[in-house]
Amino acid sequence: MPFLEETLSTAVAEGHIFFYAFIKHYAEEDTKKDHFHLFVSPSKPLDMLAFRRLFIEPVAGDKPLCCLPFQSSKIGDWLLYALHDITYLNKRGLVRLNHYSIEDVITNDDEFLLQSYHDAKESISDNRMNLFLSEMRNGSTFGDILRSGIVPPNQIVYWEKVYKSSISQWGRNVENKQVNLIPPDL
C-alpha cells in the first residue's frame, strides 16, 4: 500500500490527477488473491498506457505487481462496487462475501469522497423495496405481499426471487437483518 499511495500522491503533485481513492479487497471465491480497486480523476488528458506503467511495483524474487488496464467509471458506481454495497450488487445480480465500509477507502480528499458516497447511496434508494422488506419483516408471505399491490404484475418473477433469496439467506426471521436489495431499473 505505501507504494500505491506514494505513486498516487506523486501523480497529484505533478498535476496528472486531482483525486484518487483506493481500497484493498480480500480474495473471494472468484478472485485468486487480495487486490486493490483504484479510482482516479485526471487533471488533464493522460496517456493511459504510460500512466499505467507508473504502477508497476517491483517485488523481490517475484514478478512485479501491476494494475489491470484502466476502465472508465463514475465515482458513485465505483464506490458502491468497491464497498460491495449489498443494494448495488443485488441490482446488478452480483454477490460478494466480503463487505467494506467507507472508512476502508484511502483517498486524497475525504470531503469529496464522502459527498460522492452519500450521493451514490441516495441514487439507489427505492421505496418499493422498503415497503416489500417491511412486509417481510412483519412476517408476510409472498402471496400476502402480492395481494398488497407492492409488486407490479410484470415483475412478479423478479420479486419472488428476491423474496426466496432473502428467506434462504436470512430465514423467516429477517427482523434484525439489514436486507438491502433493490430491483432492476423500473
Percent pLDDT > 90 in the chain is 38
**Confidence class of residue 126 from pLDDT cuts 50, 70 and 90?**
low
| Contact present, 65 and 47 (Cβ < 8 Å) | no
The confidence score (pLDDT) of residue 116 equals 95
User: 131-149: buried (b, 16+ CB within 10 Å) or exposed (e) per residue?
Assistant: ebbebbeeebebeebbeee
List of E strands, the chain: 17-25, 35-42, 106-107
pLDDT digits over 35-72, tens only?
899 999 999 999 989 999 998 888 877 788 888 888 88
Give the percent of the chain with pLDDT over 70. Answer: 88
**Segment 86-112 mean pLDDT:** 88
pLDDT, average across residues 90-108: 88
Q: pTM (2 decimals)?
A: 0.66
Domains in the chain: boundaries: 2-123, 127-170
